[in-house]
């Protein structure tokens, strides 16, 4: 007789996410808001699309280099990010 094995629930952390993102609609601070895409604008700026995990609202802010290096994890631009 086969016994059923329960799988552990694993949290899926997105590859690229924005740390401490505040949604404009629900005003919730999200520790890991997923980034859907990013586009290089110039030497100091990146345009990206962020989705709020709570309400699902999409936002497309311009993020400057200093904010990008401190708040974005797993980004493809400015490779000297921590």
> How many domains, in total, are found in the chain?
1
Q: Is residue 3 part of a domain?
A: no
Q: Is residue 55 part of a domain?
A: yes
41 vs 47: CA distance, rounded Å: 7
Q: Is residue 8 part of a domain?
A: no
Q: What radius of gyration do the chain's Cα atoms show? A: 16
| Tens digits of residue pLDDT in 6-45 | 555 455 556 889 999 999 999 999 899 999 998 988 888 9
| Tens digits of residue pLDDT in 49-66 | 999 989 999 999 998 988
Q: Which residues partner with 41 through β-bridges?
A: none
Q: Is residue 81 part of a domain?
A: no
The domain of 54 spans: 17-73
Which pLDDT does position 75 carry in this prediction?
A: 80
Q: Sort 35 into a burial class: Cβ within 10 Å, 0-12 / 13-18 / 19+.
A: buried
Q: Is residue 61 part of a domain?
A: yes
Q: What is the CATH number of the domain that holds 33?
A: 2.20.25
Residue 10 CA from chain centroid, whole number: 18
Q: Is residue 78 part of a domain?
A: no
Q: What is the pTM of this model?
A: 0.69
């Amino acid at each position: 007789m086969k016994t059923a094995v329960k799988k552990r629930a694993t949290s899926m952390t997105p590859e690229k996410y924005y740390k401490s993102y505040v949604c404009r609609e629900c005003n919730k601070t999200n520790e890991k808001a997923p980034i859907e895409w990013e586009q290089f604008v110039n030497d100091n700026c990146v345009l990206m699309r962020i989705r709020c995990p709570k309400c699902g609202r999409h936002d497309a802010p311009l993020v400057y280099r200093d904010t990008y290096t401190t708040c974005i994890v797993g980004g493809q631009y400015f490779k000297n990010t921590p």
